[in-house]
Amino acid sequence: MDITIKQAQEQLDTWIRTVGVRYFNELTNLGILMEEVGELSRIMVRKYGEQSFKESDKKKDLADEMADVLWVLMCLANQTGVDLTDALNKNFDKKNIRDADRHKENEKLK
């Protein structure tokens, strides 16, 4: 089932208010976001970097770790009144203006 970012934010809000009881406060969710990013980082550096997998990491799923990051980010967005669809569209606009030629001129990328 494909859903938009807006639908995902709404679906998450419904889940939080029914199954999850309530949102953790914003600072708690920020800490959880950092934990989830750390878990994602751990898998990335083992899969694509030079570190070897520990036995406890072998069953971790990269997509699931990314989804965990997205989940908590959407919690924070909902709590702070951020429409992630609008924010992402504005971010694309900003990058298209600011970085229109920046990367084409970067010798490191050639």
Specify the pLDDT at position 89. Answer: 97
- pLDDT surpasses 90 at 106: no
Specify the pLDDT at position 55. Answer: 87
**More reliable by pLDDT, 88 or 100:** 88
The predicted model scores a pTM of 0.89
The 3-state DSSP class for residue 33 equals helix
pLDDT tens digits along 12-26: 999 999 999 999 999
Collect all residues with Cβ–Cβ distance below 8 Å to 69 and sequence separation of at least 6: 33, 36, 37, 40
Percent of the chain with pLDDT over 90: 80
- pLDDT surpasses 90 at 100: no
Per-residue CA distances from 33 to 12, 46, 76 (Å)? 15, 20, 9
Superfamily of domain 5-84: MazG-like (1.10.287.1080)
Q: How confident is the model at residue 31 (pLDDT cuts 50, 70, 90)?
A: very high
**More reliable by pLDDT, 6 or 107:** 6
Domain boundaries, the chain: 5-84
Specify the pLDDT at position 15. Answer: 98
Record the tokens describing residue 56, joined without a space.
């406890």
